Structure formats: structure tokens, C-alpha cells
Amino acid sequence: GKVFLQSDVLEVAEDMRSHFLNHHAFSQVDDSGLWIQSNPFPVPTEREIATFRKGGDVYRSLLTISKNNDQILCDTLNQSHKDLDI
């Protein structure tokens, strides 16, 4: 599986990416450590469009989940939802 992260606030993007990368199941697709330049989805978000119109930057990161960890992550998320009574 893959996880796509995007924000127009650098600190938020860095925080999201570090939280995911601190878990052993995730790794960054691009090992350069830089942000990916283009959105992998064919349609930009409204926030993305507005940010570019204002001359701002959008920070993106694409992560992969190792195949061995897919089920572990699903079980963890399911348990978290149960614990939160969702």
C-alpha cells in the first residue's frame, strides 16, 4: 500500500511525514529526502489550487507500506477504533 501526504504548511508536512517514518512499516518512496514536486493524483485539491494562486508552496511525500506490515496496520487501526468506541 501507499500513503500520500500533502500540506501547504511546512511544519505540518514535516510532522506528518516524521510520524509515519517513525513507524517501521513505512518508508519514503523517494530516498532523496526532498518533497515530491507533483501530485500523483490527476485532480488537485481546492487548497492546492488556492495555495498556488497565492504563490505558496505545497509539500508532498509518498510513502510505502511494506507488504508484511499491511495486516498488522489494519489490525492496529481496527483496535484503535474499538478503543475509541467508533
Cα 42 off chain centre by = 17
Residue 80: which pLDDT band, with cuts at 50, 70 and 90? low
pLDDT digits (tens, 9 = 90+) for 31-63: 666 799 889 999 999 999 999 999 999 999 999
Distance, in Å, from the CA atom of 18 to the CA atom of 3, rounded to the nearest integer, reads: 13
CA distance 39 to 51: 14
pLDDT band at 86; cut points 50, 70, 90: low
Query: For the chain, what percent of residues have pLDDT higher than 90?
Result: 47
* Per-residue pLDDT at 6 exceeds 80: yes
